[in-house]
Each structure stands twice: as C-alpha cells, then as structure tokens.
C-alpha cells in the first residue's frame, strides 16, 4: 500500500509540474464549475416550480420527470466533458513541448463538440437507466447498481482523451477506452485511486488545519478575524478541489498518451507510468 501511495504521489507531483508551468489551466475547472452551476440552476429551478421532483421520493416518477432529469444529466455531462476536453487538449500541447493557451484549449474542445455531445448523451442515458433501476430495487440491488456505475466509470475513464486525440465518434471512444484499460490495467486502476487518495489526504489536512484556525479565531471573539478565517478556509478548500480536478485531467491525458504510444512526457517518470499501467496478472 505504501509503495502504491508513493508511486501515485510521484505522478501527482509530476502532474503538478505541468500545472505549475501553466497555472492558467486552472481556469478550465473554474469555467466548468461556473457553467455547471448556471446550467443546473436553469433546469432545477423550473423543475422545483413544476414540482417535478415530487415523484422521486414516493417511487411514482412520471415520464416528464424522467425527461427533465435526462436533460439535466445531459447538460451537466456536456459541460463537464467539454471543459475536460479543453483542459486535456491544452495539457497535451504542453506535453508535446508547446505553449498552451486557454483559447487554444477551448478551440480543441469546440472542434470536438459533436463527439463530446454524443458522449454526453450516452453518459446521460446510462446515468438515467441506473437511477431508474436504483429506484425500483432494494438494498442489495442498490449495491449492484453502485458496482455497475463504478464499472462504467472505470471503463470510460479515458473516453475524453480518446475524443481529443483521435477523430472518432463517442461509441468508438467508449470502446477504445474500455479496450485500453482492459489491456493495460485490468482491475488495478492505480491512477484513479492513487490521485483520489493523495488529494483525500490533502483535503483532510486542509480541513483539520482550517478547523483549528477557525476555533483559534473564535477564541479571540473578534468577528472580523472569525470571518477572515472562514473565508480563508473556504478558499483553501475550493482551490484544493480545483487543483485536484485539473491534476486528474492532466494525469488522465498522460496515462492515455503512454498507454497508446508507450511514450512518457515532460515531468513524468516513465517507470512510474509503466507501474501504474501494470497489467493484471
């Protein structure tokens, strides 16, 4: 376990090197979050007004409600995939030795907007089907649906970098993502677990330090100091989440590059990548 953590932490640091070289890449998760909040509000507020969510709690979900939920899923997935593609495109430019720009990343995503939208339709359909099944099964069924969802997430982990790097449609991208993972990782998905574990520890540390800081400010009974401490802690948590999101996409782009070409890139230890892609024995 310690060896896996050390290897994952080395890959996180290498991703961080790329991010430090181009800190503007953090704008992509910021734009993604803002767009997702705006689009979500455009759907959720009318749904609340029409009481479209009422059926979700009593199992009597209407077709209209399912339609609303599908459109919500579709819009959220499209926003997420679009900005992830922009970030990965910019990161790939850096990995090739170029100088990426925010405009350049967005242009890459715009050039792939059709396949991205198609993949969003697929993801929204799968998400809605899993949700519909989950509403109709018991506890054991929920566990099974959860495992199916986790399997789908793993199988589609490299769909976005496939769409960015190749001229393929969303269905072919899903197939290629599953084939790459089956060939290289098997069930040993060290990358996702490693990055998540590393940032889970970082976020926990930020939270603990933040609580101590806020309690210390509260002891002074100085309202301005308390507010400043709360704002500082919230800002630190937001920044941590944004950095985690950006690093995860850079990491995925590098893993895809290595899995398909066998080549590393600036800032990445090729040996570590080989270990991260260790095939199932």
pLDDT by residue for the chain (281 residues), tens digit each? 555 555 556 666 777 778 888 888 899 999 999 999 998 888 777 766 655 555 555 555 667 777 888 988 999 999 999 999 999 999 888 887 788 889 999 999 999 999 999 999 999 999 988 888 877 777 777 788 888 888 888 888 889 999 999 999 999 999 999 888 776 554 346 666 666 777 788 888 988 999 998 999 888 888 888 899 899 989 888 888 888 888 888 888 887 887 777 666 655 666 666 655 554 44
Q: What are 28-34's contacts with CB under 8 Å, separation 24+?
A: 28/83, 28/84, 28/86, 28/87, 28/90, 28/102, 28/105, 28/246, 28/249, 29/83, 29/87, 29/242, 29/245, 29/246, 29/249, 30/242, 31/83, 32/79, 32/80, 32/82, 32/83, 32/84, 32/245, 33/242
Nearest C-alpha neighbor of 14 from the set 125, 123, 91, 121: 91
* pTM across the whole model: 0.81
């Amino acid at each position: 376990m310690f060896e896996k953590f050390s290897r994952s932490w080395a890959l996180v640091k290498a991703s961080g090197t790329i991010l430090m070289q181009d800190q503007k890449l953090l704008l992509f998760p910021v734009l993604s979050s803002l767009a997702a909040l705006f689009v979500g509000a455009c759907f959720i507020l009318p749904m609340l007004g029409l009481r479209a969510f009422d059926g979700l709690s009593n199992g009597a979900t209407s077709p209209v409600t399912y339609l609303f939920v599908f459109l919500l899923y579709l819009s959220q997935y499209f926003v997420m995939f679009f900005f992830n593609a922009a970030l990965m495109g910019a990161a790939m430019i850096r990995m090739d030795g170029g100088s990426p720009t925010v405009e350049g990343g967005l242009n890459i995503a715009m050039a792939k907007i059709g396949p991205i939208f198609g993949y969003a339709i697929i993801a929204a359909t799968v998400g809605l089907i899993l949700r519909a099944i989950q509403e109709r099964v018991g506890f054991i069924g929920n566990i099974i649906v959860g495992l199916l969802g986790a399997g789908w997430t793993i199988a589609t982990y490299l769909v976005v970098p496939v769409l960015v790097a190749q001229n393929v449609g969303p269905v072919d991208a899903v197939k290629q993502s599953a084939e790459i993972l089956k060939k290289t990782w098997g069930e040993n998905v060290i990358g996702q677990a490693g990055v998540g574990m590393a940032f889970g520890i970082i976020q926990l540390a930020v939270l603990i330090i933040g609580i101590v800081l806020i309690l210390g400010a509260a002891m002074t009974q100085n309202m301005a100091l308390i507010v400043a401490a709360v704002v500082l802690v919230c800002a630190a948590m937001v920044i941590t989440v944004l950095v985690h999101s950006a690093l995860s996409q850079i990491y995925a782009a590098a893993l895809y590059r290595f899995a398909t070409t066998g080549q590393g890139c600036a800032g990445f230890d090729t040996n570590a990548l080989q270990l991260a892609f260790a095939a199932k024995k």
